[in-house]
Amino acid sequence: MFGIVPESCMPSTSTLIDIGINLGHDSFAADRESVIARAHAAGVAQMIITGASVSGSREALALARAAPGRQFATAGIHPHHAAELDEERLADIASLARQPEVVAVGECGLDYFRDLSPRAVQQRAFHQQLELAAQVGKPVFLHERDAHDDFVSIVREHRRGLVGGVAHCFTGSGAQLHRYLDLDLAIGITGWICDERRGAHLLALLPEIPAAALHLETDAPYLLPRDLKPRPASRRNEPMYLRHIAAVVAQARGETLEQLAAAATAASRALFRLPGE
Nearest-5° angle of CA 46, CA 248, CA 12? 50
Number of compact structural domains in the chain: 1
Residue 7 placed within a domain: no
Phi, psi of 140 (to 5 degrees): -110, 145
Residue 201 placed within a domain: yes
Pairing between strand 71-75 and 186-189? Answer: unpaired
pLDDT at residue 245, rounded to an integer = 98
Residue 158 placed within a domain: yes
What CA–CA distances, in Å, run from 28 to 35, 44, 51, 205? 8, 17, 15, 32
Question: Contact at 8 Å (CB) between 151 and 178?
Answer: no
Kindly state the percentage of the chain with pLDDT values over 70.
95
Span 13-40, average pLDDT = 95
Residue 105 placed within a domain: yes
pLDDT at residue 1, rounded to an integer = 35
| pLDDT tier at 3, thresholds 50, 70, 90 | very low
- The CATH number for 257's domain is 3.20.20.140
pLDDT at residue 201, rounded to an integer = 95
Residue 62 placed within a domain: yes
CA-CA-CA-CA torsion sign (96, 99, 103, 104)? positive
Pairing between strand 44-49 and 214-216? Answer: unpaired
pLDDT surpasses 80 at 58: yes
Residue 6 placed within a domain: no
Residue 5 placed within a domain: no
pLDDT in tens, 161-182: 999 999 999 999 999 999 999 9
List helix spans (H) across 4-110: 32-41, 54-65, 87-97
| pLDDT tier at 143, thresholds 50, 70, 90 | very high
List helix spans (H) across 115-237: 119-136, 148-158, 174-182, 200-205
pLDDT at residue 14, rounded to an integer = 81
pLDDT surpasses 70 at 84: yes
Residue 89 placed within a domain: yes
pLDDT in tens, 192-237: 999 999 999 999 999 999 999 999 999 999 999 999 998 898 899 9
**Structural domain of residue 30, as residue ranges?**
13-272
Closest to 161 (Cα-Cα) out of 129, 202, 192? 129
Average pLDDT, the chain: 95
Coil/strand/helix, residue 144: strand
| Amino acid letter for position 22 | N
pLDDT at residue 6, rounded to an integer = 56
| Amino acid letter for position 274 | L
pLDDT surpasses 80 at 57: yes
